[in-house]
Structure 1
Amino acid sequence: MRGFLIFLAVLVALLVGVDLGARFVAQDRVASQLQTQLKLDSEPSVDIHGFPFLTQAAAGEYPSVTLTAEHIPYRQLRDITLVADLGDVTLPPQSLIDGTVRSIPARTVTARAEVDPADLARILKVSDVTVEPVTEQTLAARGSKVSGIDPSQAVELTSTTTVLGQQVRASVIATFRLSGGQIVLSARDIAVDAGDAPSSVSGPVTSALRSRLGNYSARLDPGQLPFSITATDLRAENGKLVVSGTAEDVDLLGGSL
């Protein structure tokens, strides 16, 4: 009995190894074809989800696939991360075997472009910037200057700046919206970040800082979403501004990034 269990364990390990190896080859071939077809500077990451892989490959049907392309430059932005979550992807087994992937149709696609804070800092002409969500408590602490703001449509931008020779951390409440596919940031209030001791910041510095509020308003063009998807949603997530949209019945090799 013990010998049989050892044999069974070895067999399972071998099958898992074969499954993982086949998955890796398939992901690599799809990624290579996408890089060529979509004219990307570097090979994207392709993750085929679900186990076992071989049963999906035999049927040529993949319920869930994620495509990630990083460091994409577009217009005024230099470091966009593009992510596409694909549902019900069809890929004939023979195309993976011989490497001739000519079409990758997906029933559903949710694509998003993530704007790196370094890009945002460069556009705002500050040395650095962090992007944080806004809460009701944050707005209440700011008072009437930010009354009427929807927390889900606002962010807190914090950056280091020099005012009257003194270096301080500026905290800006800005609303955001989509307009013509572009991100529109509208600064509503600016203050010295709570991390700076109030006694260390003079009144003139605070007044001079307030005169810079308009510098934190900007328009950002995140570029075309993957596969010509129209951007319909904008949110702050994990320290980034994220533009996203959905589409149905998309051929990955028939679109462009």
Structure 2
Amino acid sequence: MPPAESNPPTQAPSTTPRDQPESGAPRLRRAFVIIAAAVVVAVVAAFVVDTGLGARGESRLSHSLQTSPRLEFAPEVTFGGFPFVTHAAAGDFTSLTVTARGVALPRAGSAACRATQCWAELGVNATGVRTGADAWSLSPDAALSLDAVTAYAKLDSVNLGRMLDLTDLSVNTPAPQGKAGGGGPGDGLLERTSGVLLTGTVALPPDAATTSSVPPSASKYTGPKVRVSVTVDLSVRADSLILTPTDFYDGPEEHASDDVPTQYRAAVLRRFGAAVPMPPLPWGVNPTSANSAGSDVLIKGSATARVVRVDQF
């Protein structure tokens, strides 16, 4: 009789890590990561939407400002206050900056400005800006209430030179004297009211205006001329920028120093003096001071607590 078959011993099922139930800590970490990612996405989305709405509001105000009679181009507009949606809903912004470039000046005065259009820049920096309920879409006739506003009109070297009939004029703001490292990055944009450096070419004998179609700075000019640097003081009278020459400049900044015949020195120096007509400051602000800023010159003024109309910029 054959022996009975024996069944193989039964082995207990093995338990692998995959079959083990997941502990609570990894699940908690995964949930935390998902929640954090969702929060980041929501914050970024809200920021993008707010930035887009802010840009749209600034663009609308820019186009409304462009309806001002003297603005040919849409100005740059920046509202202060984040988030934009909150401030727009309240009709209250911390600040407003407007920069209008390419403001045409009358074709009058100097020969250069009669022949070539001269341009200025206008701008304002206002604080405590209240727009009322129309903050989302400021129309040209909208009123803005400003706690304080500083306005300016600016000429660069090229346009100031045209207005003085000194077509190669350059403006420089010398660094403070007696200061180690003066004029370095730590000083930022240099500004001065006195001792501003002007460099240009003057015909001999000097004339108050360019009488030839070929200016003295041109290579085709055949008459006697000198290229010199002088210092001037800046002030303001009514809406005019006043340049008062004080002396010839001999350093330490880079300068021009052609020999000027003795009999012409006073006349050459006076050639850099003038009362330069400037456009009225935005929103009727009265100019009270003038200064250089790097290679530009400007007049500016400040006012407090005024209500202005957008299209009267």
- TM-score clears 0.5: yes
The SS at the match of 2:67 is helix
Instruction: Pick one of 221, 224, 240 that aligns with 2:296.
Output: 240
1:200-240: per-residue Cα shift (whole Å, max 9, x none)?
x6xxx432773522211111011211011111111111221
Partner of 1:178: 236
Equivalent positions of 1:1-257 (< 5 A) are 1-38=32-69, 40-75=71-106, 76=108, 78-96=118-136, 102-134=142-174, 137=177, 152-160=193-201, 169-190=227-248, 195=254, 205-207=259-261, 210=265, 211-253=267-309, 256-257=312-313
Distance 1:82 1:206 in 2: 37
Structure with the higher fraction of residues in helix conformation: 1
**Which string of whole-angstrom CA distances, capped at 9 and with x for unpartnered residues, describes residues 72-102 of structure 1?**
1233572111110111111234452596862
- Return the alpha-carbon distance in structure 1 between the equivalents of residues 299 and 94 of structure 2: 24
Q: d(CA) in 1 for partners of 2:279 and 2:294?
A: 20
TM-score by length of 2: 0.67
2:157 touches 2:295 (CA, 8 Å); kept in 1? Answer: yes
TM-superposed deviation, 1:188:
2.3
Q: CA deviation at 1:180?
A: 2.5
Code of the aligned partner of 1:104: L
Which one has the bigger strand percentage?
A: 1
- Bigger Cα displacement from structure 2, 212-221 vs 246-255: 246-255
* Structure 2 gap segments, 5+ residues each: 1-31, 179-191, 205-221
CA offsets per residue over residues 145-170 of structure 1, 9 Å max, x none? Answer: xxxxxx74331102255778688641
* Equivalent-residue separation in structure 2 for 1:98 and 1:137 (angstroms): 48
Q: Residue 38 and residue 15 in structure 1: after superposition, are their counterparts in 2 closer, same or farther (change >3 A)?
A: farther
- Summarize the Cα distance change of 1:197–1:94 in structure 2 as closer, same or farther, 3 Å threshold: closer
Name the % identity. Answer: 24
Q: Alpha carbons of 1:249 and 1:195: their partners in 2 closer, same or farther (altered >3 Å)?
A: closer
How far apart in 2 are the matches of 1:167 and 1:100?
51
Output the amino acid matched with 2:233.
Answer: T
**Secondary structure of 1:230's match?**
coil
Contact 2:194/2:233 (<8 A) preserved: yes
Q: Give yes or no for contact 2:95–2:129 (8 Å, CA) kept in 1.
A: yes
Alignment TM-score, normalising by the size of structure 1: 0.80
SS in 2 for 1:104: strand
What is the alpha-carbon distance in structure 1 between the residues aligned to residue 176 and residue 49 of structure 2? 52
Equivalent residues of 1:37, 1:253 under 8 A apart: no
Change (3 A) 1:52 1:185: same
Cα displacement (A) at 1:191: 5.2
- 8 A contact 2:169–2:198 mirrored in 1: yes
* Cα 1:4/1:160, change in 2 over 3 Å: farther
Q: Per-residue deviation at 1:53?
A: 1.2
Q: Would you say the 8 A contact 2:129–2:145 is kept in 1?
A: yes
Identify unmatched segments of 5+ residues in structure 1.
139-150
Aligned residues: 240
Cα separation, 2, equivalents of 1:165 and 1:73 = 33
CA RMSD between the two structures: 3.0
Greater Cα radius of gyration, structure 1 or 2: 2
* Paired residues of 1:90 and 1:105 also in contact (CA < 8 A): yes
The amino acid across from 2:144 in the alignment is: I
SS in 1 for 2:100: strand
* Residues 115-124 or 22-31, more deviating: 115-124
Equivalent AA in structure 2 for residue 159 of structure 1: G
SS in 2 for 1:10: helix
Which amino acid counterpart does residue 238 of structure 2 have in structure 1?
G
**Does structure 2 retain, via aligned residues, the 8 Å contact 1:169–1:196?**
no
Match of 2:162, SS state, is: helix
Q: Secondary structure at the match of 2:279?
A: coil
